[in-house]
Amino acid sequence: MRGVTAVNGVDGIWAVLIRLALILLPVILVLSVLVGRVITKRALQPVKLLSEAVEETHDEKDLTKRIRIDDGDPLITGLADNFNEMFRRLQLSFQNERQFSGDVSHELRTPTAVILAECEYQLSRDELDSEDRESFETIEKQAQSMKQLISQLLEITKMEQNSTEQNFEKEDLSLLVNAVCDDAEALSQKGITLTRDIDENVELPLDIMLMTRLVTNLVSNAYQYGKENGNIKVSLRKEKGRALLSVADDGIGIDKEHQDKIWNRFYRVDKARCREEGCSGLGLAMVKQIALMHGGDVSLQSEIGKGSTFTVDLPME
Ligand code: ATP
Ligand code: MG
């Protein structure tokens, strides 16, 4: 059999096909991109959960967090189990480290007290010659700073273990900050000028002893690391249900590489300088812990040679 068709007809079919393809191809393309996105999103959902859980544990306080993926790919649930095991071990080692610091400081209290008592006894003796007196005075001075260090370490360990006695009551933070500034100004060194920009009646639930310590540490650091005849600005404002306290100085500043580490216990940027001035490197660790205990946090903006601004962000409820 033979069929005969007009050349014009074939051309027509091709034209229709090309037109159809031009219309359908973009639609198919858009549809496949959309479907692809939905599938990928669904497939990556457990990975997203994992990543969120890991992010939340960046803060030490959240090491108790565990990832739960009820039904999913065995590969992903296996990964989640491994992460959970890692968190458990990390949590345990943090706990052990805290326990160790607590135990050591506790054990060191008695020998330090004995050294101090012996020094006191020796220094009370009239027959002591001047050389021995000088030695005992040096020992007494060092033992005193050791005693202070031990009690600070014990306190910070208790805070981290949540075993500090806490007394939260609604208090006026504005009054507290003003009082700390008054005390700091009275002891003002280096010809530093302190200015204040403090909103009135910033009331929030706080432990007055702990909060006084937080503000005092920040203000005394600003004096200690501020420059001669420099400026410190302390401000406190209410913003969207939060209290924002900031202490800014135009002193030595902190290099980027140290900014994450200064919150760690005993971390000091310039160790030689600190040895002279007898600082322990516990102040900011305490500041951070106290801010966390109040449901807030603390952050730093600093540039070397220009100064630092520490900001404490606290919830008002
Ligand atoms: P202390 O326990 O007596 O407060 P410290 O001042 O050395 O001792 P932190 O207050 O914890 O300890 O501060 C840690 C380190 O951070 C300091 O040694 C210092 O190097 C740096 N630092 C803190 N505050 C400032 C500041 N305002 N400007 C520049 N550096 C600072
Ligand atoms: Mg300090």
Dump the DSSP string for 255-272.
Answer: -HHHHTTTTSTT--S-HH
For residues 174 and 236, the answer to whether their CB atoms sit within 8 Å is: yes
How many CB atoms within 10 Å of residue 147? 16
Q: How does pLDDT run along the chain (317 residues), one tens digit per residue?
A: 676 656 566 678 888 888 888 888 989 999 999 999 998 888 787 778 777 767 776 655 567 777 777 666 777 788 888 888 988 998 898 888 888 888 888 899 999 999 999 999 999 999 999 999 999 999 999 999 999 999 988 888 888 887 788 889 999 999 999 999 999 999 877 899 999 999 999 999 999 999 999 999 999 999 999 999 999 999 999 999 999 999 999 999 999 999 999 999 999 998 776 655 568 899 999 999 999 999 999 999 999 999 999 999 999 98
Residues 178 and 310 in one domain: yes
For residues 185 and 194, the answer to whether their CB atoms sit within 8 Å is: yes
Residues 71 and 21 in one domain: yes
User: Given the CA of residue 253, which atom of ligand 1 is nearest to it?
Assistant: 29
Using CA atoms of 208, 214, 215, 220 in order, give the dihedral in degrees to the nearest 10.
140
Helical segments of 161-296, H only? 173-186, 208-224, 256-259, 271-277, 283-293
Which tokens is 122 given?
A: 């020796």
Minimal-distance CA residue to ligand 1 atom 15: 268
Domain boundary among 126, 141, 164: 164
Residues 32 and 100 in one domain: yes
Residues 210 and 118 in one domain: no
Rounded Cα distance, 151 and 86, in Å: 32
Of 152, 218, 224, 271, the one to substitute when testing ligand 1's pocket (max ligand atoms within 8 A of C-beta) is: 224
**What is the pLDDT at residue 180?**
97
Q: Give the 3-state secondary structure of residue 249.
A: strand
**What is the pLDDT at residue 191?**
92
CA of 283 to the centre of ligand 1 (A): 7
Rounded Cα distance, 41 and 295, in Å: 34
Rounded Cα distance, 205 and 198, in Å: 18
Residues within a 6 A CB radius of ligand 1:
217, 221-222, 225, 249, 251-254, 262, 267-270, 274, 279-285, 308
Q: What is the CATH number of the domain that holds 95?
A: 1.10.287.130
**Closest Cα partner for 102 from 166, 159, 158, 148?**
158
- Counting the structural domains of the chain, the total is 2
User: Given the CA of residue 285, which atom of ligand 1 is nearest to it?
Assistant: 11
For residues 308 and 254, the answer to whether their CB atoms sit within 8 Å is: yes
**Closest Cα partner for 232 from 177, 193, 265, 270?**
193
Residues 255 and 204 in one domain: yes
User: Given the CA of residue 249, which atom of ligand 1 is nearest to it?
Assistant: 27
**What is the pLDDT at residue 211?**
96
Which tokens is 305 given?
A: 């040679």
Residues 259 and 273 in one domain: yes
Residues 47 and 131 in one domain: yes
**What is the pLDDT at residue 143?**
95
Residue type, 129: D
Q: How many residues would you count in the chain?
A: 317
Rounded Cα distance, 95 and 284, in Å: 20
Nearest ligand to the CA of 220 is: 2
231-239 β-sheet, strand order: 193-198, 231-239, 242-249, 307-315, 297-303
Residues near 143 by Cβ (< 8 Å), separated by ≥ 6?
112, 115, 116, 119
Domain boundary among 139, 164, 189: 164
CA of 308 to the centre of ligand 2 (A): 13
Strand pairing class (231-239; 193-198): parallel
Of 279, 282, 302, the one to substitute when testing ligand 1's pocket (max ligand atoms within 8 A of C-beta) is: 279
With tokens 């900011």, the residue in question is: 284
Minimal-distance CA residue to ligand 1 atom 12: 281
Q: What is the CATH number of the domain that holds 267?
A: 3.30.565.10
**What is the pLDDT at residue 278?**
62
Residues 154 and 214 in one domain: no
**Closest Cα partner for 147 from 101, 105, 102, 119?**
105
Residues 45 and 87 in one domain: yes
Domain boundary among 164, 198, 229: 164
Residues 91 and 126 in one domain: yes
Q: Count, in order, helices (H) and strands (E) of the chain.
A: 8, 7
Residues 205 and 111 in one domain: no
Minimal-distance CA residue to ligand 1 atom 3: 279
CA of 26 to the centre of ligand 2 (A): 64
Domain membership of residue 136 as a residue range: 1-164
Rounded Cα distance, 305 and 284, in Å: 20
- Cα Rg of the chain, angstroms: 32
Residues 181 and 156 in one domain: no
**What is the pLDDT at residue 301?**
97
